[in-house]
Amino acid sequence: MNAHRYDVGQGHDAQTMTFEPLDPTRFRTSIDGANTDLFTLSNQAGMQVRFTNQGAKILQLIVPDRNGNLDDVVLGYDSIEDVLTGQPSMGAFVGRYAGRIAHGRFALDGRDYALGTNNNGHTLHGGVKGSRHRVFDVVSIDASRAEMELVYADGEEGFPGRLASRVVYEVTEDNALDITWSATSDAPTVVNFTSHAFFNLAGHAAADETTSHDHLLTIFAGRYAANDAQLIPNGLLRQVAGTPLDFRVPRRIGDAADAPDPLVAGSGGYDHTAALNKPYGAYGIAARLAYPPNGRVMEVWSDEPALVFYGGGGLTGEIPRDRGKGGKVYGRRAGLCLEPEHFGNSPNLPSFPSTVLRPGQVRRGRITYRFSTAS
């Protein structure tokens, strides 16, 4: 595979960087009768996003640093075979219910529902075969925008209602990946979607625990959702002040990731949900991530009420599961996730914003990852 040379556009010195674009031919196969492929979106400034319609997984994201050098800042795989044997959430658009539902059960309109369980007896990210394991239908695509569709059958993984969902990936000219989605159902149900990209702004080749820990993170939240020992929210919100979860001002991630505090020690680091400081349904900033050595900055914007910060503790360097692009092995905390969504276990917790979707309604959401640089 040949390395490519890119012009970073106006306003920069003639700085370039070589990297290996993923090969689309390595993503072409058929899964359960549905064809898979690799797709590329880009803008005039050199930003590129490559994704496969298997799980709508973002596998490569190219953005500049402060000197205009382009690099890949997400973790991912370089063939469909590695995608299928890899971490199922890596880069995925997650549904039909992101996060955990306790004991795989909830009640709606007086009826009890039993779901597929796949995480210590609980339902995680849609169950045994949520969207992470499904092939999306790409219904339209151009140079910078792709629209995908996925329909969940009534009763699939135990969820009620035939749920028709659409998700759009768009690369904008101001170096953002804008993700919008919508869903409708023919019966009362619950829905929760998010993007599960793993980021490391140092660049894919440098992705390890050291570089991940050297990021500065700001989360625009004064409270977090309290969990039990199995990371199931109990409906209570607590103050972040004085805890390892206090990212109200920029904080180096590694400074408290291994603090002797049950909040992080019990979960192997960060896997927590922040209650965002903005009105319910308002589109606003949720987090800012920065890597000072190269100046890359990523802002996360959304209209969701919560943000899950996952520090990548489940990356263990296991082969083939954690063997990424170019043979890079993803060890502990090589990348991190910032996932805007509703609170986990919301169907069982009336204190949290409702995730109920009824016939005739359209549930919509938006997540934006906006890239820039700092001196």
**pLDDT tens digits, one per residue of 279-290:** 999 999 999 999
Tell me the DSSP string of 283-295. -EEEEEEEETTTT
According to the 3-state scheme, what is the secondary structure of 210-253? HHHHCCEEEECEEEEEEECCCCCEEEEEEECCCCCCCCCCCEEH
Tell me the catalytic residues.
196, 339
**What integer pLDDT is reported at residue 3 of this predicted model?**
36
Integer Cα distance of 73 and 356 in angstroms: 35
**What integer pLDDT is reported at residue 265 of this predicted model?**
87
8 Å CB contact between 344 and 232: yes
> What is the DSSP-derived secondary structure letter of residue 65?
-
Distance, CA of 56 to chain centre: 11
Identify the three-state secondary structure at position 78.
coil
Can you give the pTM of this predicted structure? 0.94
Buried b / exposed e over 140-175, threshold 16 CB at 10 Å, is eeeebebbbebebeeebbbbbbbbebbbbbbbeeeb
Taken in order of first residue, the domains within the chain and their CATH numbers are 1-375 (2.70.98.10)
**Mean pLDDT per segment of 10 residues, for the chain of length 375 residues?**
37 54 97 97 96 98 96 98 97 98 98 97 96 98 98 98 98 98 98 98 96 98 94 96 97 95 88 97 98 98 98 95 96 98 97 97 98 96
Residue 104, phi then psi, degrees to nearest 5: 60, 35
**What integer pLDDT is reported at residue 8 of this predicted model?**
38
8 Å CB contact between 48 and 41: yes
8 Å CB contact between 300 and 221: no
**What integer pLDDT is reported at residue 1 of this predicted model?**
30
Integer Cα distance of 153 and 163 in angstroms: 7
> What is the DSSP-derived secondary structure letter of residue 97?
B
